[in-house]
Structure formats: structure tokens, C-alpha cells
Amino acid sequence: MSDLELRERILEAARAYFFTNGFSKSTMEEFAQSMGMSKKTIYKFFPSKDDLIKEITRDKLKTIHAGCLQWHQNTSMDFLERLRCITGHLSDEMRSMKPQFYVDLQKTMPDLWKEVDEYRTDRVHKEFAGLVREGVEIGVFRKDINVEVLVLMYANAMQSIVNPDALSKLPLNASQAYDAIIAIIFGGVFTPKAKEKYHQNETVTTEEKK
């Protein structure tokens, strides 16, 4: 196994391990044991646990952004289908990160948490706003909505559902909370025809998953 392959194997295992269990109470020794690998081998690529957490967190941001961008730019697809793909992608990515990871990130690595928050806010204001304007232009979203206000609402909602304190007050995980927010927001801005079509397609997708 080459160094590049070994490094990727460590990252893949770290994503599965820390996104599920959090990291504040986990040691590098425990993580190494879960991989059947020595700490020395891991330290060759990542000098500390913090370095490893930073790498998988930043990589997750890139993965989320790349997925959204892929669907956003695929203009050969119907707009509503692209919209469902984007929201579905975000929901799936959130599902892979358990609440404890968010808690640990906010409490023990505030600088990285700030980086995540700023990155997410920037992407929302740039890309979600463009998506909304496109929807208004083609008649999927109502013409009378204020795009800036809608984007602000969405950005604040996104910030809340990955906030451990806010999420702890809901009987939902981050993915479920996001799905509920999308249903509420889009339910209010769709034109009647688009709303009917969106929910028809959503029902088909749900049945396919079953």
C-alpha cells in the first residue's frame, strides 16, 4: 500500500469513527486500535488528533459543496429535480455526522467551528440565493417573495440545526430538522403548480427508496 493509499485509508476510517462517536473523549490510541494500526503509522501523516479532525472536517465541507455544485450546475435537469437532489444531498451529508461531533467541535475547537460556520454562511449567501433567483425567474417560486429575506431565513435555520444547544431541544437529528425546515420554507415560496409537482416527485422518490 502506497503512502497516498494509506493516508486515504486513515481518513476514511477517521470519518466513520469520529463523525459517529465525536472526538473529545476518544484518544488516538483507541482510534489506532479500531483500525488495527499503530499510532506511529497515523502520526506519520497526522501529527495530532486535532490535525486529523481538521482534515476530515474540511474535507467534509468540500464534499458537501462539490455535491451541491454538481446539481446546481446541471441545467440539463428539471429545476425541481435539481432542487430535490441538492436538498437530498445536504440531508444525507448531515445524517453522517452525529450530534456529538457538532458538540465536540463547538466546545473544544472553536476556531474550526467558526471556520465551518463562516464557510457555510458564505456558500448559502452565494449559491442558495442564486438558486432562489433562478426559481423566481422561471416561475417555480412566487414572484412576490423577498429573496434576501428568504436567504437570511435559510442561513439562520441552517446555523440553528447544527447548533448542539438548539438541536438538543428538538426530538430530531440534524438531517430530520433540515428536512422539516426545507418542507416549511419551500412550502411557502412555491407557486401552487410547482408545489404540487415537487411533492409528486418527492412521493415517487420515497417509494423508490423503500
Rounded to whole angstroms, how far apart are CA atoms 57 and 54? 5
pTM above 0.85, yes or no: no
- Dihedral over Cα of 23, 29, 32, 34: its sign: negative
Return the residue matching grid coordinates 503512502.
3
Each domain of the chain, given as residue ranges in start order, spans: 57-209
Condensed to tens digits (0 to 9), the pLDDT of residues 38-91 reads 999 999 999 999 999 999 999 999 999 999 889 888 888 899 889 889 888 888
Which top CATH class is 57-209?
mainly alpha
Share of the chain above pLDDT 90, in %: 36
pLDDT at 176 > cutoff 70:
yes
Condensed to tens digits (0 to 9), the pLDDT of residues 150-168 reads 888 888 887 777 776 777 7
Scored b (16 or more CB within 10 A) or e, 22-32 reads bbbebeeeebb
> Which residues are CB-neighbours of 159 under 8 A, at least 6 positions away?
117, 120, 121
